[in-house]
Amino acid sequence: MTMGATTPPTIDDRFENMLVSPERVLEMLGRRRVGEVSFEQSEQGDARRLLLNVEKVAIENKRLQEKTEASYLESVSHNLHEILLSELTEQLSNTEELAKNVLNLPENIGELLDALSVKACSVSKLEPIAASIPWLYDELIVVVNTPQFRRKDSRGRIIVVETLRTALSFLGIENLRTLIPSLILKRAMPQITDPYPLIKQKLNPYATGVAITAKRLAAFSDVNKNQAYTLAVLSNLGRCVVTRLYFKLFDKIQLHLLRECQKDKEQKRHEALLRTAPSANHLIALQQEFADAVSADILAWMQLSRLPIAEPMRACADKLPAQPKTLGKILHQARTYTQIRMLHQLKLVEMKEVKPLFVEQRYPAGSLEKLKAIDIFTLPLVKNDDNR
């Protein structure tokens, strides 16, 4: 995004940059960090003004040399990213490959989500589907044995849950409707995002925040709360795909180009490639271009028959206007609210900037006050005492 000198960055641009590094947003806003002083105020600035003319000339020559080197580095990075974009675009066209081998999702994931979505959902109906997904069994066993869900027998001894049926019963259907979509996203989350570790750290609370916000907003709009929640969680699958592929392809292409340089004895280019790092700007641009479309592709691949979330996700990806009191509108509202709340926590947005966005999104009366009073970043799981 190219901005004029007086145009503040949008909330969306701030949020995307905050996921990478809050310092990037401070620079976008023209703020100095705590304890930072301007160059003119520093001792270094005072010393520089006293330099002899010959030293000034030497410094200028060094600056020009660094500028030339930076320009060359930029061209090497540009070439690498051209190759990366071509490969990434090709891979994004194979949705089944993305779902199964990039996100590690089983083929019957849609069947599981459909079963969870119906009113008549029961442990006996969920068990055979969940049993066919080994990693889901492992995750549920871990959760059900945490102190929050731990139970004791008549002698006061802790009951260690080891079977899937017991885990499903102890957790309860309502908790499972919240937990399972979150575990699917957890499975899809990128694990390696160096040199930007904050991406993987902030993506999960963002997804949780959007999901809980959507669930709360659904109650104000007479929209199914579990459908809103599930759509909001899984709308982040595309973001996970793009992030995973970007870092994987960057490493692969960089290594290939380095080997080419060694073979052709291009020392200068080899050194420049070694200094080339993953680009936050490129990653952000790729997210904004592809993430929602990939989420829509994956939800379509799931072939959901009872959970109507694929269509609103496609409409979101196509940037179609969302009608009031629909799943699509709730997703937009939940994303905007969560982004603003995360930016506000870091003092990267001011209330005078927020109010027009709230008006534009047309939140239901009273909903913002309710949202402000709850923790949207922690899954609202409750101990289930129905099945002892």
In this predicted structure, what is the pLDDT of residue 352? 87
In this predicted structure, what is the pLDDT of residue 40? 44
In this predicted structure, what is the pLDDT of residue 39? 43
Helix (H, G, I), strand (E, B) or coil at 383: coil
Residue from 388, 121, 98 nearest 230 by CA: 121
Token match 């974009």: residue?
Answer: 85
Any alpha helices (H) in 235-326, and if so which ranges?
237-264, 267-275, 280-301, 310-317
Q: E strands within the chain?
A: 151-152, 158-159
Q: How far apart are CA 51 and CA 59, in angstroms?
A: 10
In this predicted structure, what is the pLDDT of residue 38? 47
In this predicted structure, what is the pLDDT of residue 8? 81
For the chain, what is the mean pLDDT? 88
Residue from 381, 312, 338 nearest 202 by CA: 338
Q: How far apart are CA 156 and CA 159, in angstroms?
A: 9
In this predicted structure, what is the pLDDT of residue 183? 97
- Is 115 within 8 Å of 168 (Cβ atoms)? no
Q: Give me the residues of the chain with pLDDT under 70, please.
A: 1-6, 32-70, 384-388
Q: How far apart are CA 138 and CA 187, in angstroms?
A: 12
Token match 């410094």: residue?
Answer: 59
In this predicted structure, what is the pLDDT of residue 46? 52
- Note the pTM of the prediction, 2 decimals: 0.87
Q: How far apart are CA 92 and CA 95, in angstroms?
A: 6
In this predicted structure, what is the pLDDT of residue 290? 95
To 10 degrees, the CA torsion angle through 350, 353, 356, 359?
Answer: -30
H or E segment to which residue 359 belongs: helix 351-361
Tell me whether residue 271 is exposed, middle or buried, using C-beta atoms within 10 angstroms of its C-beta: 0 to 12, 13 to 18, 19 or more: middle
Residue 71's Cβ-side half-sphere holds a number of Cα atoms within 13 Å equal to 6
